[in-house]
């Protein structure tokens, strides 16, 4: 049985990784033309949160690949929790194990006295979700997939692989390249490791399931200076890819009662609260940065010819 994540999960110091952009190839692999390639959306007027709204629906089963940094720096877990509300499942895969290594990870668990979930200020993510939920904002409660479930090895808490075709959406905001890079350098020695992660995403997705991969405007690269092409990697995994250039803006609507509770609270949430017509409001943060969002969809296999 999956475990609901405890809010007392250990709080690692926030990390600010170098962030990637799309470019021409993956670790020296020649670019390939794929018939599944969909038209690229170039408009920067699109706001990032709308792609989460379009692709995460009540009742979905969603895996979040480790939230990054503070909840207002990486709202991907919050957005997924809001889209699901009280109907659906939100699962967290922990990238900390693959970054630290088994011995250091086990030692950190022993020292913390509880499982570690994600990297960066994950405790702050969980506390903010709990706080907003207590003020009436409908948010799904995250469930932890276990200490050995990582981006590279998606497993159930009992150690068995997550079933093929069982997941509706995977949310990955800059986590997959970060966990295999050299800390803080943006260097990825083995880009094929990243390809294996996306192959694993494709395996567990249902037909029609989506990967939402958001990367910002910095670059990860291989030791010989070649940049990574996320679109090609996702397509090699058998996914049909849309590419959107977006403003890194998100918002979550709140009703009148929740607006009043948040406005009268003493938490950081108040600074992101905006009034909308009719007495309700939104939690909104409008970043000046642009980002690339890849929405990669698993296409159903054609029926065999008889």
Quote the CA–CA distance of 55 and 168 in Å, as a whole number: 9
**Per-residue confidence (pLDDT) for residue 1, from 0 to 100:** 43
| Both structure tokens of 178 | 């970060």
User: Among 48, 266, 281, which Cα is nearest to 174's?
Assistant: 48
Q: Which domain holds residue 236?
A: 3-27+36-249+292-298
The sign one gets for the Cα dihedral 45, 50, 51, 54 is negative
**Per-residue confidence (pLDDT) for residue 3, from 0 to 100:** 45
Total count of domains within the chain: 1
Q: Is residue 229 one of the residues assigned to a domain?
A: yes
The sign one gets for the Cα dihedral 230, 231, 235, 241 is positive
**Do residues 279 and 271 touch, judged by C-beta distance below 8 A?**
no
Q: What is the pTM of this model?
A: 0.78
**Per-residue confidence (pLDDT) for residue 180, from 0 to 100:** 76
Q: What is the dihedral of CA 62, 212, 74, 286, to 10 degrees?
A: -120
Mean pLDDT per 10-residue run, the chain (306 residues)?
40 36 39 42 68 95 82 84 91 67 62 48 72 91 80 87 97 82 70 91 97 79 82 95 89 92 85 85 80 92 62
Q: Is residue 284 one of the residues assigned to a domain?
A: no
| φ, ψ at 140 (rounded to 5°) | -65, 150
Quote the CA–CA distance of 42 and 65 in Å, as a whole number: 26
Q: Is residue 203 one of the residues assigned to a domain?
A: yes
Q: Is residue 239 one of the residues assigned to a domain?
A: yes
**Per-residue confidence (pLDDT) for residue 183, from 0 to 100:** 56
The sign one gets for the Cα dihedral 233, 67, 243, 227 is negative
Q: Is residue 274 one of the residues assigned to a domain?
A: no
User: Among 61, 203, 237, which Cα is nearest to 143's?
Assistant: 61
Q: Is residue 305 one of the residues assigned to a domain?
A: no
**Per-residue confidence (pLDDT) for residue 60, from 0 to 100:** 97
Q: Is residue 273 one of the residues assigned to a domain?
A: no
Q: Is residue 268 one of the residues assigned to a domain?
A: no
CATH (domain of 191)? 3.40.50.150
CA angle 98, 196, 141 (to 5 degrees): 60
């Amino acid at each position: 049985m999956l475990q609901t994540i405890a809010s007392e999960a250990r709080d690692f110091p926030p990390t600010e990784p170098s962030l990637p952009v799309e470019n021409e190839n993956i670790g020296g692999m020649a670019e390939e033309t794929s018939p599944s390639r969909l038209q690229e959306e170039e408009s920067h007027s699109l706001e990032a949160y709308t792609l989460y709204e379009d692709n995460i629906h009540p009742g979905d089963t969603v895996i979040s690949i480790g939230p990054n940094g503070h909840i207002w720096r990486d709202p991907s877990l919050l957005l997924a929790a809001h889209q699901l509300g009280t109907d659906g499942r939100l699962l967290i895969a922990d990238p900390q194990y693959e970054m630290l290594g088994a011995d250091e990870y086990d030692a950190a668990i022993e020292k913390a006295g509880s499982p570690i979930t994600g990297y960066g200020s994950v405790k702050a993510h969980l506390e903010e979700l709990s706080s907003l939920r207590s003020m009436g904002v409908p948010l799904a409660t995250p469930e932890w997939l276990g200490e050995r479930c990582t981006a590279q090895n998606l497993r159930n808490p009992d150690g068995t692989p997550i079933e093929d075709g069982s997941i509706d959406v995977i949310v990955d905001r800059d986590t997959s390249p970060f966990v295999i890079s050299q800390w803080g350098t943006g260097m990825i020695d083995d880009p094929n490791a990243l390809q294996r992660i996306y192959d694993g995403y494709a395996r567990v997705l249902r037909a029609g399931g989506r990967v939402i991969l958001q990367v910002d405007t910095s670059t990860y690269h291989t030791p010989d200076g070649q940049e990574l092409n996320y679109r090609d990697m996702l397509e090699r995994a058998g996914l049909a890819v849309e590419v959107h250039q977006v403003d890194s803006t998100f918002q979550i609507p709140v009703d009148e009662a929740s607006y009043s509770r948040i406005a009268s609270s003493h938490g950081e949430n108040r600074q992101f609260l905006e009034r909308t017509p009719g007495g309700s409001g939104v939690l909104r943060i409008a970043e000046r940065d642009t980002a690339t969002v890849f929405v990669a969809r698993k296409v159903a296999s054609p029926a065999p010819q008889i």
